[in-house]
Structure 1
Amino acid sequence: MTSPRDRDRRPKREHGGEDVQVPKADFRSYYGRQIVKTPVWRHDVPAYLFTGGLAAGSSLLAAGADLTGRPKTRRAARLAALGALGVSTYFLINDLGRPERFHHMLRVAKPTSPMSMGTWILSAIGGAAGLAAVTEARPRGIIGAAGRAAGLGAAALAPALATYTAVLIADTAAPSWHAARDDLPFAFAGSALASGAAVGLIAAPPSEGGPARALAVGGVALELAATHRIEHGLGLLSEPYRTGKAGRLLRAARRLNLAGAAGALLGRRSRVLSALSGAALLAGSLATRFGIFEAGVASTRDPKYVVEPQKAAGQRTRSVGPAAGTSSPTTG
């Protein structure tokens, strides 16, 4: 005679008469816990992403203005680059917790570490941008030539400063950051160009605004193209970029960037409209950095963003089957 417990253990039969020994697996996280830890980074990090991009874009604008004879734009961009680098260094040191950690990171150079390379890039461009800004006190003769050389050096390092932070966050376990590793550098580069253009639109007269307007349109176009791919081209891992706080920030960034680019084109003779366009571009760049940051954090909190892509990758691998030219173990 069987007990009720033994009867419950017997395999059940479906309509087709097939015994179902194991119920269909339905993923649940272990006791509802996260699989990937949420980054401990505070909001110093997205602020650091923004100020680093602003410094890079301003350095490029300053070099272009210097080479094309736009002294007011050059002066504003050099000072903005130096100020942004100073603030960026503060955010980095504050996030590290103790100031001496920044110094300790300069003891070695580790090419495989984005943080190590970023520290060296920040230090190098900081010295060049600082020298270029100081020469604005007397931008003639030998001092002016030194300022030009330093400004060109800062511009040469600007692309690395603008994009290494994208590599930094993509080189983590946050699913939506890692999945966007191919597009994040382009999004950050476009955002840096747009924020650098904003400096010229705000501080320089419209007569010198040609390079800033071109930089604004190009930067916005690059950023929008990259963020569109991120928001729609990653499958399930695009979802955190479209929903919640990150989705609201990125939608606001898109509107601000489009308004800023349009204003840059229409405000060729209006100082007020140019300044408003620059303010919109700065706000858009800031919203982009915070939106991308929030999306990566959100993707660590739901286990489905870790498990479902892995399951899909495993299914794709199994569907390929045995390699060409090999026989299946079940065939003669």
Structure 2
Amino acid sequence: MLRGEEAVTSAEEFESYYGRPVLKPPVWKVPDVPLYLYLGGAAGASSTMALLADITGRRDLARAGRLTAAVGATASVGALVHDLGRPMRFLNMLRVFKPTSPLSVGSWILAPFSALASAGAASELTGLLPRSGRAASTAAAVLAPAMTTYTAVLLADTAVPSWHESYRELPFVFAGSAVSSAGAVSMLAAPGESAPARRMAIAGAALELVAFSRMHRSAGMVGEVYRQGRAGAVLRAARALACIGLGAAALSGRSRAARITSGLCLNAAAAATRYGIFEAGRASARDPRYTVLPQHAD
């Protein structure tokens, strides 16, 4: 190559060996892993909301948050175990704690959070050991911020192009999605004290939309997967549902129908966002261009 010449590899010219992917696409199952991502986030944000509601004397809202946290966390563990195939595989991840491994750290966040949230909810339902139950719920709320965002770190730490390129914005997308869904559930479960939940749902949905827009712009050519194919269709639906939910939330203080519409739409938007990002990751791993061409550009 002569000095001054540049090696240029266009998308049309690029081919991998035998047309096979450079990366092995994730083998995680649908709907197990998307549900795991959605339910865990909603559980974490609900736990934080329950603690704040308890401090401010909103009894019904605190109860709704504790029950949502427990159900969401338990169902999240169930989805993960079903994806792994055997419960022992999940238990084996708890045998060693590795601070340098997001998977290990995530397992040690999910397991105690689920246990603490379940203990708090059991006390709430039975009325037994109220002080211990409140202490368990408070401890779960301490873990809640990590519970809400650790799955974003787990995805971004992989070599999957669309996830790895979005490592800065992905935790904010997941946090906004989680806060929005938690607020939306409590709008439905505690209508008499829904004002704080409504503000929480609006703030979370706004954060999700802004962070996703920034993520889409900053991902470069890999950002194509967020607007193409199944992932693109799901993510467009998620944004539309979030906008409808935001509009309905603004009217929900005066209308029961608007409150129900907002709660359902914002939860559907949060679930669709997680599924769309999951599908985008699988699509980017299947196409070798997204692995090789960004490295040539660097």
What range describes the TM-score normalised by the shorter chain of this pair?
A: over 0.9
Question: For 1:36, which of 23, 26, 29 is the aligned residue?
Answer: 23
Query: Which residue does 1:253 correspond to in 2?
Result: 238
1:300 offset after TM fit, Å?
Answer: 1.1
| 2:49 partner amino acid | L
1:24 offset after TM fit, Å?
Answer: 8.3
Q: In the alignment, is residue 123 of structure 1 matched against residue 108 of structure 2?
A: no
| 1:280 partner amino acid | C
Number of aligned residue pairs: 288
Q: In the alignment, is residue 174 of structure 1 matched against residue 160 of structure 2?
A: yes
- Kept in 2, the 8 Å contact 1:188–1:223? The answer is yes
Q: In the alignment, is residue 187 of structure 1 matched against residue 173 of structure 2?
A: yes
Deviation string, structure 1 residues 281-319 (Cα, Å, up to 9, x no partner): 110000000000011100011111112101110xxxxxx
| 2:231 partner amino acid | A
- Kept in 2, the 8 Å contact 1:63–1:155? The answer is yes
Q: What is the TM-score when the length of structure 1 is the normalising length?
A: 0.83
Structure 1 stretches lacking a partner, 5+ long: 1-22, 314-332
Q: In the alignment, is residue 46 of structure 1 matched against residue 34 of structure 2?
A: yes
Deviates more, 1:73-82 or 1:44-53: 73-82
Deviation string, structure 1 residues 185-232 (Cα, Å, up to 9, x no partner): 110000000110011111112x41121011111101111111101212
| 2:227 partner amino acid | R
| 1:37 partner amino acid | K
Q: In the alignment, is residue 85 of structure 1 matched against residue 85 of structure 2?
A: no
Separation in structure 2 between the aligned mates of residue 271 and residue 66 of structure 1, nearest angstrom? 24
Task: Give the 4+ runs in structure 1 shifted more than 4 A.
Answer: none
1:138 offset after TM fit, Å?
Answer: 5.4
Query: Which residue does 1:285 correspond to in 2?
Result: 270
1:96 offset after TM fit, Å?
Answer: 1.5
1:271 offset after TM fit, Å?
Answer: 2.8
1:38 offset after TM fit, Å?
Answer: 0.9
Specify the SS of the correspondent of 1:137: helix
Deviation string, structure 1 residues 11-66 (Cα, Å, up to 9, x no partner): xxxxxxxxxxxx98732211211111111111111111011011112112211211
Specify the SS of the correspondent of 1:176: helix
Separation in structure 1 between the aligned mates of residue 248 and residue 138 of structure 2, nearest angstrom? 29
- Kept in 2, the 8 Å contact 1:201–1:264? The answer is no
Q: 1:27/1:217 Cα in 2 relative to 1: closer, same or farther (>3 Å)?
A: same
Separation in structure 1 between the aligned mates of residue 126 and residue 86 of structure 2, nearest angstrom? 37
Query: Which residue does 1:208 correspond to in 2?
Result: 193
Deviation string, structure 1 residues 245-300 (Cα, Å, up to 9, x no partner): 11111111111112212212211133332122111111000000000001110001
Deviation string, structure 1 residues 129-167 (Cα, Å, up to 9, x no partner): 112112213559xx3333332222211111101111011
Structure 2 stretches lacking a partner, 5+ long: 1-6
For residues 70-149 of structure 1, the aligned pairs below 5 Å read 70-137=58-125, 143-149=129-135
Separation in structure 1 between the aligned mates of residue 8 and residue 257 of structure 2, nearest angstrom? 64
Query: Which residue does 2:3 correspond to in 1?
Result: none
Q: What is the TM-score when the length of structure 2 is the normalising length?
A: 0.92
Specify the SS of the correspondent of 2:21: coil
Separation in structure 2 between the aligned mates of residue 273 and residue 27 of structure 1, nearest angstrom? 51
- Kept in 2, the 8 Å contact 1:138–1:144? The answer is no
Query: Which residue does 2:4 correspond to in 1?
Result: none
Question: For 2:147, which of 153, 156, 161 is the aligned residue?
Answer: 161
Specify the SS of the correspondent of 1:246: helix
Separation in structure 2 between the aligned mates of residue 307 and residue 197 of structure 1, nearest angstrom? 41
Separation in structure 2 between the aligned mates of residue 160 and residue 137 of structure 1, nearest angstrom? 26
Q: Which has the larger radius of gyration?
A: 1
Deviation string, structure 1 residues 86-138 (Cα, Å, up to 9, x no partner): 11111111111211111111111111111111111111111221121122135
Separation in structure 2 between the aligned mates of residue 210 and residue 152 of structure 1, nearest angstrom? 22
Separation in structure 2 between the aligned mates of residue 144 and residue 138 of structure 1, nearest angstrom? 9
Question: Structure 1 vs Structure 2: percent identity of aligned residues?
Answer: 52
Specify the SS of the correspondent of 1:209: helix
- Kept in 2, the 8 Å contact 1:66–1:148? The answer is no
Which fold has the larger relative contact order, with Cα–Cα distance below 8 Å and residues 6 or more apart in sequence? 2
Question: For 1:276, which of 261, 271, 274 is the aligned residue?
Answer: 261
Separation in structure 1 between the aligned mates of residue 17 and residue 114 of structure 2, nearest angstrom? 47
Separation in structure 2 between the aligned mates of residue 67 and residue 41 of structure 1, nearest angstrom? 39
Q: 1:137/1:302 Cα in 2 relative to 1: closer, same or farther (>3 Å)?
A: closer
Specify the SS of the correspondent of 2:23: coil
Q: 1:74/1:51 Cα in 2 relative to 1: closer, same or farther (>3 Å)?
A: same
